[in-house]
Amino acid sequence: MTAFLLALSLLLNIIALLAFTLLFLRQNKLMETEKKQEKMFNEMEEVISTYLVQMKEENDDFINRVSQLKINALRLKDESKEKLAKTQENMEESEKPNRLAKASAYQAVRAYKKNTQPDSQADEKMELKAESDSGSVNEASALKVEKQRESEGQKHHAPSLLDNVLLLRKQGLTEDEIAKTLGKGRTEVALMLKFRQNQQE
């Protein structure tokens, strides 16, 4: 019986020693993993800090470049303004001798206009032609006046879209047919007719 108890106690002691060694090994593994994690954390902190430093340097460099570009743009604007002012002064100086000739051509046209009393449109065309010959009115302004006259003439002669819609409606056409004939949308035609009815009411 004592031999059995001795064997049992030895067995229990061996099991306890094995348990202690297993616990010790696990504790060492946990310590190693903690050390690895700390090491990785420190490395990541270093990487992030170097990245942030690089970003800051790049941002400072970018800000310096932008400020230099702004300064250069301001300089170019100032130079271009100076050049424009110089060219305008030169043009004004070159135009001074021609002003007398322009004025005399304009006065001659007005005197001719008073003496002959021609048609108003032909008179304006002659005046514009004389002024453009003398250089006081450019070709663009003459074209503008002629286009305005043509558009005014078209306004008097050509019926408006509303007139066409009302005329077709009086002839008995539906909204779809009116839209097809005029090449407009059905809703546009319907709105025109409704708006006209509201005005008449």
- 122 by DSSP, 3-state: which? helix
pLDDT tens digits, 175-190: 888 888 888 888 888 8
pLDDT tens digits, 105-114: 556 556 656 6
How much is the pLDDT for 89? Answer: 80
How much is the pLDDT for 158? Answer: 54
Report residue 9 as tokens: 């106690």
- Residues in CB range of 64: below 8 A, 6 or more apart: none
- 102 and 134 in contact (C-beta within 8 Å)? yes
- Residues in CB range of 164: below 8 A, 6 or more apart: 182
Q: Dump strand ranges (E) for 38-186.
A: none
Average pLDDT over residues 47-53: 89
When mean pLDDT is compared across 11-25, 72-86, 123-137, 152-166, the lowest value belongs to 123-137
pLDDT tens digits, 118-170: 444 444 555 445 444 444 434 444 455 455 555 555 544 456 888 888 888 88
pLDDT over 50 at 51, yes or no: yes
Greatest mean pLDDT range, 31-35, 109-113, 133-137, 193-197? 31-35
How much is the pLDDT for 13? Answer: 92
pTM of the model: 0.31
Q: Locate tokens 């990541």: which residue?
A: 44
